[in-house]
Amino acid sequence: MARILITSAIPYINGIKHLGNLVGSQLPADLFARYMRQRGHEVLFLCATDEHGTPAELAAAKAGKPVAEYCAEMWQVQKDLSDGFRLSFDHFGRSSSPQNHKLTQHFAGRLAEAGLIREVSEEQVYSHADKRFLPDRYIEGTCPNCGYDRARGDQCENCTKQLDPTDLIDPRSAISGSTDLEVRETKHLYLRQSEMRGQLNDWIDSKTDWPILTTSIARKWLNDGDGLRDRGITRDLDWGIPVKKGEEEWPGMEGKVFYVWFDAPIEYIACAAEWVDAGKGDDWERWWREDKGAEDVRYVQFMGKDNVPFHTLSFPATIMGSGEPWKLVDYIKSFNYLNYDGGQFSTSQGRGVFMDQALEILPADYWRWWLLSHAPESSDSEFTWENFQASVNKDLADVLGNFVSRVTKFCRSKFGEVVPEGGEYGDAEVALVAELQGRVDAYQAHMEAMEVRKSAAELRAIWVAGNEYLQAAAPWAAYKEDPDRAAAIVRLSLNLIRLYAVLSEPFIPDASAAMLEAMGATGADWPDTVGEALAALPAGHGFTVPDVLFAKITDEAREGWQEKFAGQRG
């Protein structure tokens, strides 16, 4: 049994996330966590809300609420939606937690002692219209590198080049649109990442099994232009973790808070402490401290490609620079973008389908299956309503759902609601078991490797194999001439339903539970062999005919949704 620590990129608190956010981190992380638990491994799966910074302040102001109250309410909203999508976090924490305050200040103190933090007097943009300093991401303008006219002051989304606000051409406030900006002097702390460039480069080079998407982004930030730059870790804001050197005050930093991108990754660690303090675990350090038991932990992170630089460079620099034996990530699974119907999903513009809207339309399994089977791994992928309808109707309704319905209803009509006895398995059954064993082995290999789309394709092929067997064996025809032969076919097919429930649990947990319940089966332990799994329900074992697992999406419904989600979110 292995010990596997899994984190997915923590979502911003400022609103409900869209399906692109979901498939870019949390959902594939859940797939992996569920699978690893089924295989008997010890798993700790953590996520949290990212609550600090200007996005939270602005969203709270727009809602007319104090920022702390707004964040508490939105944490509950995001927690309820993650539950709705059946995301199996062991704990869903908050970056505003006391645990993260303490740990972030601790890391800052350690980095200062190591000489890896420098104080810088710098010029920062102040907006007269907004009456505040503007954080980098709330200054927009034209990118000097590629000419994109909506580049942010910290990074250009178009070419991914790291920027300073003063680099932008024709800068403006992203809050008010005002160009009445003034550059004022202020003091900030910088993490001396440049001092760690060689150490980080060697570490990245050692990760030969990482996705090319992950390492290529990391190397671009390490080597492009002047190479890895020092990074500001403080901000002039009211909401955030106060700047301290451990438990001591930091002279000259009064009234400032740590930059959200400094404290947010540290929340992964703090979240484990929250997990223990919530009474769910008993020792968080055995997962995170290599001197206290974490040396045998495998740590896997899931995220969208826009988060890769901070997780491959800034967060590791924080951990390495502390000089303490914290657990570094072993594998980063990164994803490209999911686009929406010819354009892009956008939280700020309200474009696309958001998590709450999706669950109002259809149950979670419909979305989980489509998103995971179309995960943007090697390139960007696109959500279209036509593709969604076709995938749900074909894969879930016609292949899996139809198999379950045909087998259970036929058995009830001819043998009653029990697994029938009589008849022997023949060449067709032997061939099916052999085919399925090969496919299950392949499925396991893809799941172990976190190849999401390949895993989905193999699972679908396993469902198809059962359908093809049932169609060829034709128990409805065999029953007329040889009822015992029909009984053998049905007995195997009912066991196939249970096997499908077990194999499908990481992708479609609700349907899996419904199949197991209908089959009167308890638990979803992974099978040692297909042959053994197909003998799990003996003759005489009772079952019930389940409700329709998956309803087909009609053209009328699809057209209505296309129209509803074509414009801005209301």
Give the model's pLDDT for residue 241.
97
Give the model's pLDDT for residue 565.
84
Q: Which of 163-167, 396-400, 529-533 comes out lowest in average pLDDT?
A: 163-167
**Chain length of the chain:** 570
Give the model's pLDDT for residue 350.
65
Query: Is the pLDDT assigned to residue 349 strictly greater than 80?
Result: no
Give the model's pLDDT for residue 166.
84
How far is it, in rounded angstroms, from Cα 344 to Cα 311? 24
Q: Tell me, what DSSP letter sits at residue 142?
A: E
Give the model's pLDDT for residue 122.
83
Query: Is the pLDDT assigned to residue 359 strictly greater than 90?
Result: yes
- How far is the CA of 373 from the CAs of 28, 368, 451, 528, 553, in angstroms? 10, 8, 10, 25, 18
390-406 mean pLDDT:
98
Give the model's pLDDT for residue 54.
82
**Over the chain, what is the mean pLDDT?**
94
199-206 mean pLDDT:
96
Helix (H) or strand (E) holding 152: strand 151-152
% of the chain at pLDDT higher than 90: 84
pLDDT band for position 343 (50/70/90)? confident
329-347 mean pLDDT:
88
Tell me: the pLDDT tens digits for 307-323? 999 999 999 999 999 99
How far is it, in rounded angstroms, from Cα 207 to Cα 223? 17
Tell me: the pLDDT tens digits for 228-250? 999 999 988 889 999 999 999 99
372-383 mean pLDDT:
95
How far is it, in rounded angstroms, from Cα 433 to Cα 172? 65
Residue 391, both tokens = 């995938």
Give the model's pLDDT for residue 570.
47
- How far is the CA of 551 from the CAs of 77, 162, 554, in angstroms? 28, 47, 9
445-457 mean pLDDT:
98
Give the model's pLDDT for residue 8.
97
Neighbours of 180 (CB within 10 A): 12
Neighbours of 324 (CB within 10 A): 13
Secondary structure (H, E, C), 269-334: HHHHHHHHHCCCCCCCHHHHECCCCHHHEEEEEEEEHHHHHHHHHHHHHHHHHHCCCECCCCEEEE
pTM of the model as a whole:
0.91
- How far is the CA of 555 from the CAs of 326, 354, 552, 570, in angstroms? 53, 21, 10, 24
pLDDT band for position 567 (50/70/90)? low
Q: Sign (positive/negative) of CA torsion 347, 348, 352, 356?
A: positive
Query: Is the pLDDT assigned to residue 513 strictly greater than 70?
Result: yes
Tell me: the pLDDT tens digits for 420-442? 999 999 999 999 999 999 999 99
Selection from 79, 56, 569 nearest residue 340 by Cα: 569
Within 26-150, residue ranges assigned H as helices are: 27-38, 54-63, 67-84, 98-113
Averaging pLDDT over each range in 166-170, 358-362, 561-565, which range is the top one?
A: 358-362
Tell me: the pLDDT tens digits for 254-294? 989 999 999 999 999 999 999 999 999 999 999 999 999 99
Give the model's pLDDT for residue 498.
97
Query: Is the pLDDT assigned to residue 351 strictly greater than 70?
Result: yes
Query: Is the pLDDT assigned to residue 569 strictly greater than 70?
Result: no
Q: Which residues contact 226 (CB under 8 A, 6 or more apart)?
A: none
Q: Which residues contact 90 (CB under 8 A, 6 or more apart)?
A: 43, 44, 45, 46, 275, 280, 281
